[in-house]
Amino acid sequence: MIETVATENTTDKETTETTAPKKLKIVFMGTPDFAVPALKNLIERHNVVAVFTKEAKPVGRNMVLTKSPVQVVAEEHGIPVHTPHNFKNILDITKVQMFHPDMIVVCAYGVILPERILDVPQIGCINIHASILPRHRGANPIQRAIMAGDRMAGVTIMNMNVGVDTGEMLLKDAIPVPENMTYGELENELSLMGARLILEYIDNMDNILPQRQTREFTLAPKLAKEEAKINWEKSAYEIHNLVRALSPHPYANFTHNDNTIKLIKSELVKGEKTDKPAGSVLNSNLDIACGDGNILRILSLQKSGGKILDTKSFLNGYKIEIGEVLK
């Protein structure tokens, strides 16, 4: 379901003849795996003259300094990479200006762009945003969509302005979100969608009219660490959505005998209710009573420092008693 926000029509047959799309000079700004398919598509079809990404950071137990996925791809293609902390330094702004880009394409960059950067490209700064705007403006639109139980999710190609995801909408697409789909699974689908849509927008941008967002919007702020903590008093549906939204990272969790237990995958037990207290372990399947009387089944989990295991394998090595109440 692709939605071009608005298009200009023509009856001139000569203008409908197919011509090779113009090859643009593009500066790409992005950081995580989500941005990689878009970067690869742009490299294949256009002239990506520079990449801006977040600095390498320590990763894992050994704190190995690791480049962003976007930087790795850029270097593989011999594209200059820049990693400014922000754009408050005039030298960092100058670095962007010196490439004289036709367009800046932004995809999950993680750095706020000031107006002086937005004014650099001839055509404009175009953002690949992972939500159906104006729903879920902000840093974590995919996770917030799952937490909210949204049945549809998508990508919006948009003009950037100084607000947070408040610019004019250019092109949209959306897909259904099955009730057990995780953040990782949805992120992969939307990543490929965004990569496709940015090329479609560039190919057709002369015929697409920007549309302002409505005043009815929702926000998708960064996740706070405490949000990952499970509150069994909530409904099974809310807890299941939390588990899905935080998988594969940072994972929803609860504390048991001073151990942090991460929930990797769950499912709703349908057609059954319980009057047991919220958090009660109902059986060896690790069915848990929730605050609304509905039941959540834990399918896989992980003890801090351990491996991800299915419930049966996990309980073979870690004791959670039937009848105890999780906190």
Asked if residue 293 and residue 166 are part of one domain, the reply reads no
Beta-sheet strands, E only, within the chain: 2-4, 25-30, 47-52, 57-59, 64-66, 81-82, 103-107, 124-129, 152-159, 169-176, 252-256, 259-269, 287-289, 295-303, 309-310
For residue 200, give both structure tokens: 């479609």
pLDDT digits (tens, 9 = 90+) for 16-70: 344 556 899 999 999 999 999 999 999 999 999 999 999 998 887 788 899 999 9
Kindly state whether residue 212 falls inside one of the protein's structural domains.
no
Kindly state whether residue 220 falls inside one of the protein's structural domains.
no
Kindly state whether residue 16 falls inside one of the protein's structural domains.
no
Cβ neighbours of 182 (radius 10 Å) = 18
| Sequence-ordered list of residues with C-beta below 8 angstroms from that of 310, at least 6 positions apart, any chain | 299, 300
Asked if residue 145 and residue 44 are part of one domain, the reply reads yes
Bigger pLDDT: 299 or 57?
A: 299
- Of 172, 207, 242, the one marking the end of a domain is 207
Q: What is the mean pLDDT of the chain?
A: 93
Q: Can you name the residues that pair with 254 across neighbouring β-strands? A: 261
If one counts the domains in the chain, the total is 2
Whole-number pLDDT of residue 5: 58
pLDDT score of 74 more than 60: yes
pLDDT score of 272 more than 50: yes
Closest CA to 54 of 46, 62, 43, 65: 65
Kindly state whether residue 139 falls inside one of the protein's structural domains.
yes
Question: Considering the entire predicted model, what is its pTM?
Answer: 0.92
CATH code, 118? 3.40.50.170
For residue 279, give both structure tokens: 């958090």
Model confidence band, residue 4 (pLDDT cutoffs 50, 70, 90):
low
Asked if residue 273 and residue 149 are part of one domain, the reply reads no
For residue 324, give both structure tokens: 């105890």
Bigger pLDDT: 117 or 22?
A: 117
Asked if residue 304 and residue 169 are part of one domain, the reply reads no
- Of 137, 172, 207, the one marking the end of a domain is 207
Asked if residue 94 and residue 175 are part of one domain, the reply reads yes
Contact between 252 and 242 under an 8 Å Cβ cutoff? The reply is: yes
CA 88 distance to own-chain centroid: 26
Q: Residue 219, class by beta-carbon neighbours within 10 Å (0-12 exposed, 13-18 middle, 19+ buried)?
A: middle
- Report d(CA 21, CA 37) in Å as an integer: 20
CATH code, 293? 3.10.25.10
Asked if residue 192 and residue 252 are part of one domain, the reply reads no
Kindly state whether residue 221 falls inside one of the protein's structural domains.
no
Kindly state whether residue 326 falls inside one of the protein's structural domains.
no
- Percent of the chain past pLDDT 70, that is, above it, reads 94
Asked if residue 94 and residue 195 are part of one domain, the reply reads yes
Model confidence band, residue 304 (pLDDT cutoffs 50, 70, 90):
confident
Domain coverage including residue 137 = 2-7+21-207
DSSP state of 61: T
Kindly state whether residue 89 falls inside one of the protein's structural domains.
yes
